[in-house]
Amino acid sequence: MQYDVIIIGGAMSGATLALALSRVANKKVAVVEAFSESPQHPGFDARAIALSLGSIELLRRYKLWDALANDATPIDTIDVSDRGHFAQTGFSAEQQNQSLLGAVVELATVGAAYREQLRLDSNIDVFCPDSIVDIEQHQQHIDAILQSGTRLSAQLMVAADGANSKVAELIKNPKSLDDFEQHALIANIELEKPHHNKAYERFTSHGPIALLPMTGKRMSLVWCMKQPMLQQALAWNNETFLAELQQEFGWRLGRFDKVGTLASYPLQLHKRERLIHHRIAFVGNAAQTLHPIAGQGFNLGIRDVASLVDVLSCHRDCGDYQCLAQFRDAREADREATCDMTSALVRIFSNEWLPMVVARNLGLALFDIAPPLQGPVKNRSLGLV
DSSP for 326-371?
HHHHHHHHHHHHHHHHHHHHHHHHT---HHHHHHHHHHHHHHHH-H
CB 263 within 8 A of CB 186: yes
Range of the domain at 163: 2-72+107-176+269-347
Q: Which residues, 6+ apart, have CB-to-CB distance to 304 below 8 Å?
A: 13, 282, 283, 284, 287, 331, 335
Q: With the C-alpha atoms ordered 333, 339, 344, 345, is the resulting torsion angle positive or negative?
A: positive
Task: Encode pLDDT of 202-234 as tens digits.
Answer: 888 788 899 999 999 999 999 999 999 999 999
10-residue mean pLDDT series, the chain (385 residues):
96 96 97 80 69 95 95 93 65 86 92 94 97 97 98 98 96 92 92 96 85 94 93 96 95 94 90 96 96 81 97 94 97 92 72 58 57 60 72
The verdict on residue 32 lying in a domain is: yes
Task: Encode pLDDT of 269-297 as tens digits.
Answer: 899 999 999 999 999 999 999 878 667 88
pTM: 0.90
State residue 37's pLDDT score: 72
Taking alpha carbons only, the member of 87, 95, 92 closest to residue 363 is: 87
Q: How many CB atoms lie within 10 A of CB 235?
A: 9
How far apart, in whole angstroms, are the C-alpha atoms of residue 279 and residue 272?
Answer: 16
The verdict on residue 135 lying in a domain is: yes
How far apart, in whole angstroms, are the C-alpha atoms of residue 153 and residue 137?
Answer: 10
State residue 63's pLDDT score: 96
CB 10 within 8 A of CB 126: yes
Number of domains in the chain: 1
Task: Encode pLDDT of 113-154 as tens digits.
Answer: 999 999 999 999 999 999 999 999 999 999 999 999 999 999
The verdict on residue 130 lying in a domain is: yes
Q: Show the CA angle centred on residue 331, arms to residues 329 and 335, nearest 5°.
A: 130
Going by their DSSP bridges, the two strands 151-159 and 280-282 should be labelled as parallel
How far apart, in whole angstroms, are the C-alpha atoms of residue 224 and residue 243?
Answer: 17
- Which DSSP state fits 192? S
Q: With the C-alpha atoms ordered 77, 248, 106, 268, is the resulting torsion angle positive or negative?
A: positive
Taking alpha carbons only, the member of 365, 308, 355 closest to residue 80 is: 365
Give Cα 17 to chain centroid, integer Å.
Answer: 14
DSSP for 276-297?
EETTEEE-GGGTEE--SGGG-H
State residue 361's pLDDT score: 57
State residue 367's pLDDT score: 56
Report helix angle 12-25 to 107-120, nearest 10. Answer: 40
The verdict on residue 321 lying in a domain is: yes
Q: Which residues, 6+ apart, have CB-to-CB distance to 60 below 8 Å?
A: none
**In this structure, what CATH number is given to the domain that contains residue 282?**
3.50.50.60
CB 199 within 8 A of CB 79: yes
The verdict on residue 155 lying in a domain is: yes
The verdict on residue 226 lying in a domain is: no
Going by their DSSP bridges, the two strands 208-213 and 198-203 should be labelled as antiparallel
CB 219 within 8 A of CB 48: no
Q: Which residue type is seen at 259? A: V
